[in-house]
Amino acid sequence: MIKYKMGIMGGTFDPIHIGHLILAEEAKNHFGLDKIIFIPTGKPPHKHWDNVADSVHRYEMTLIATIDNPDFIVSSIEIDREGTTYTIDTIKYLINQYNNTEFYFITGADSIVEIFKWKDTEKLLSLCNFITAKRAIVSDNKLEKTILDIEKRLGTTIDILPIPYIDISSTNIRQRIKRGKSIKYYVQDGVREYILKNKLYID
């Protein structure tokens, strides 16, 4: 039976930017994925999260950014869940929801080099394929070392998606807004308008 291939893009999306969208689109084309599900993370009550925009704003911006692509869908499962959300729980939930589906978790290299800090890394990698794109903030050497380590310790591999570096981050976009710099073309127009309308990231 032909399996359905579903990509998963997890992120804070604070805000969602063209780096995320290009990554998802390229992963879809390269691996022949049928759909990509964008899952904004919840906002656990950690001090570290004090500066993160409300879940509703991040969710709405993700919807706006993906509205014109019928293969991009957005899920509120993580923002609806109370407290800390773990990728492993989300994957298990999705496996239950979608029959006959193979999952591909799409990441940037900075997420992969942290993967051993995630909950149940081994189980997670056995349930789901992982795809990563290089990011300027992570050296190729560090990424390759991590992938070798994963292969050695867990017997599974991470596929590197061949796309150009897109040296854009949400952190950088938030800083630009604070400094009064333009973010035109860094994010979708609708997302930029949403940020302006809701006065996000100005202080």
Asked if 135 interacts with ligand ATP (CB under 6 A), we say: yes
Burial of 97 (0-12, 13-18, 19+ CB in 10 A): exposed
Asked if 111 interacts with ligand ATP (CB under 6 A), we say: yes
Given a contact cutoff of 8 angstroms between Cβ atoms, the answer to whether 8 and 39 are in contact is yes
Given a contact cutoff of 8 angstroms between Cβ atoms, the answer to whether 73 and 43 are in contact is no
Given a contact cutoff of 8 angstroms between Cβ atoms, the answer to whether 10 and 90 are in contact is yes
Residue 71 CB, shortest distance to ligand ATP, in Å, is 18
In the three-class reduction of DSSP (H, G, I as helix; E, B as strand; rest coil), residue 80 is classed as helix
Asked if 133 interacts with ligand ATP (CB under 6 A), we say: yes
Stretch that binds ligand ATP, among 30-38, 119-127, 142-150, 169-177 (CB under 6 A): 169-177
> Binder to ligand ATP among 7, 8, 11, 183 (CB under 6 A)?
11
Stretch that binds ligand ATP, among 5-13, 81-89, 180-188, 192-200 (CB under 6 A): 5-13
> Binder to ligand ATP among 8, 166, 183, 200 (CB under 6 A)?
166
Asked if 13 interacts with ligand ATP (CB under 6 A), we say: yes
Given a contact cutoff of 8 angstroms between Cβ atoms, the answer to whether 159 and 130 are in contact is yes
Closest CA to 65 of 164, 183, 159, 176: 183
- Interacting residues with ligand ATP (CB under 6 A): 11-14, 19-20, 23, 107-108, 110-111, 133, 135, 166, 168-171
